[in-house]
A and B are shown apart, each in its own frame.
Chain A
């Protein structure tokens, strides 16, 4: 690492009265109904809820990939469409969405190329990111030659390459096994503590949400809405031992009660 740390630019996320409907077989379904949420700059928020509660749709709205039918989404006071052109957003999807014909290095460079910000110094930065996600030696491999976990790490490195002020992650480790997922959680915490970007993580895993987030937002479905917000008090850096501590289990049960309350309602 060189002497100057990356500039810590963070933005808050402000959601106000977001409503989104879909027409399914001539019926209107409320994927999101009047959802309001504020994420402080530099905070880490986890969104959990059953399938169909609209958590992924909410994330796509913040990323500017979909528009709400009503309500506003602002990132640092700007619309997602304005913000994403500055490279302030880093989005990791369920699927790594890598381009099969590009090498690891070239895939990570893609956002810089789209933003027309690719410079010779970019190479050093990409090398540092490859080191950060632990893929040294695979710089010139293509996606087909990598395992699922490695592909997902490439995707994470790609989201970080623009020094985003906001990180949006849609079940980025959903396809990984439990052990790999744990180690990716620990790595994500390390990366996040270094970058301190405002982060929104959509996940199915309560333990993952608890381990990483400042607060956990539990959503319910039909219509998609926020049911409960639970603050997570654990100090950072959180260590793997935390997963087996009694306080952790207690909070896990509390969130599970909200979660399953939704599933049986």
Chain B
């Protein structure tokens, strides 16, 4: 090995060592937030002291996370294929998809804990957490295919099934795998969140909740870092698989784009469209009702859609409940909106900077990963110490929760730009910035929009986590209080309102996205 290469290899290691040294210095001298940031050595020492209890805690979280991950991804992949083959089915399940996506895991956790036995709350929450990212990324991969080989397949009489089998199946792999990449940490997070309020003895979430009040930051950080390592390992495994398969994926030449013209539907077709939309709206409620009936859960604990309606409209103290929820919404919603905008801007800027300075991505990825899993629960107390129990703390938590999936999606869009179009700009000596502005950014616009949609509901999750654990305002606090008081009606009502608000948020972003893409498409067609 040449000495130059050795230096190059050691450089990142050196960087990490410098960061660690700085951290050690800050931690040992209690410089940050009166010792809420312990030094690495203190964390490691505490971790070593606790070494006997870690394996059962980790296993209690990992096992259900893994089962949920497998179940959720299998359902997600099957659903994506069904949606490609049967667009009507996708239309019908639209409402369900968005509702599953919009569920803030923290709102669902208490509902699952009171209705399901054993490990099932964790498994289900992990599965629910992975379903949407995997489904969406797989669907994107299945749909976003090179149109030229379709002609080849059609000229041998191949239909939709043949295109699916020979083209889409392989084309969707990078999308599917990057979906798994986002889903893997989400599964672990889902399993941890389901331990909140479950009273379970084992599991990292239970361990963390039990340690929160003990004034031992080193242990809290140790638990957080363990969760992070688990997520990082899961992420790395999926990323490795992804690299193996996307190397041979980029088309050698570029396909000319086609602009699909949407024809306005009239008469019977229009009627069908409207009735489909209504059916799609009713579907989540039907499934909600069917699951509760199917499992035969007591109606006192498990509220059906009708039960929630009664609680909010017909019950004697309905007006009081509505007032409490409205007040909580007023506190939570503005923060979620602002957090979303900040997170998207940060993700875009960092993804773009990562394109221009490659080293930055290498430096950022581990940091982004650490931010993704660990802080949610472990960093919240720390953030509160740093930023107070107010708006700033909530915003920081929200940005941290939403940033990571947005960053991954945008970076993937920037990476899938065909080689030929970048080569074209190289011919004219274009700078990296020009290539970015003229090719990479416009071509990855669909990914950017997908990122916005993907993280819109997550911003509400961030707000609710901060409220539950720290600030004592808003929806998160209302849910936590209701859980403490065993107010089953309120638990279900808040969960329902949180999902409804998330779905509304999602739809709003979708409308904006459609406008942006249409304008972009028509602009490129007329110029």
Which residues of A does B touch, CB under 8 Å? 60, 63-65, 81, 84-87, 89, 91, 93, 95-101, 110-111, 113-115, 142-144, 151, 158, 162, 168
Are the C-beta atoms of B155 and A84 separated by less than 8 Å? Answer: yes
Mask for B240-253, Cβ within 8 A of A = 1, else 0? 00000000111111
B152 within 8 Å of A by Cβ?
yes
Determine how close the nearest CB of chain B comes to the CB of A160; give it in whole angstroms: 13
Option from B151, B157, B170, B253 in Cβ contact (under 8 Å) with A101: B170
| Known contacts A84-B157, A85-B157, A143-B252, A97 near B166 by CB under 8 Å | no
- The complex places the Cα of A165 from the Cα of B226 at a distance, in Å, of 65
Contact check: which of B146, B156, B162, B251 meets A89 at CB < 8 Å? Answer: B156
Can you name 28 A-B residue pairings with CB atoms under 8 Å?
A65-B151, A65-B155, A81-B157, A85-B156, A85-B157, A91-B151, A91-B152, A93-B151, A93-B152, A95-B148, A95-B255, A96-B253, A97-B149, A97-B152, A99-B149, A99-B167, A99-B170, A100-B249, A100-B250, A100-B251, A101-B248, A110-B152, A110-B153, A113-B166, A114-B153, A114-B166, A143-B252, A144-B248
Main secondary structure of the interface of A (DSSP, over half): loop
Whether B157 contacts A115 by the Cβ 8 Å rule is yes
Closest residue on chain A to residue B157 by CB atoms:
A85
Contact B155 A142 (CB under 8 A): no
Q: Classify the interface of chain B: helix, strand, loop or mixed.
A: loop
The distance in angstroms between the C-alpha atoms of A231 and B198, with both chains bound, is 86
CA distance A84 to B149 in the complex (A): 15
Is B158 interfacial (CB 8 A cutoff)?
yes
For residue B154, CB closer than 8 A to chain A, the reply is: yes
- A209 nearest CB across to chain B (Å): 22
Question: Residues of B contacting A142 with CB < 8 Å?
Answer: 248
Inter-chain contacts of A115 with B (CB < 8 A): 156-157
B residues apposed to A, CB below 8 Å? 146, 148-149, 151-158, 162, 166-167, 170, 248-253, 255
In contact, A64 and B155 (Cβ under 8 angstroms): yes
CB pair B155–A91 under 8 Å, yes or no, is yes
Q: Are B252 and A110 in contact (CB under 8 A)?
A: no
| Bound complex: CA A158 to CA B152 (Å) | 10
Sorted from nearest, which 5 A-B pairs have the closest CB atoms?
A: A85-B157, A97-B148, A84-B157, A91-B155, A114-B156
- In the assembled complex, the CB of A112 is this many whole angstroms from the nearest CB of chain B, namely 9
The residues of A that contact B152 with a CB separation of less than 8 Å are 91, 93, 97, 110-111, 158
> Do the beta carbons of A89 and B248 come within 8 Å of each other?
no
Give the chain A neighbours of B250 by CB distance below 8 A: 100, 144
Q: When chains A and B are docked, how far (Å) is the Cα of A143 from the Cα of B155?
A: 21
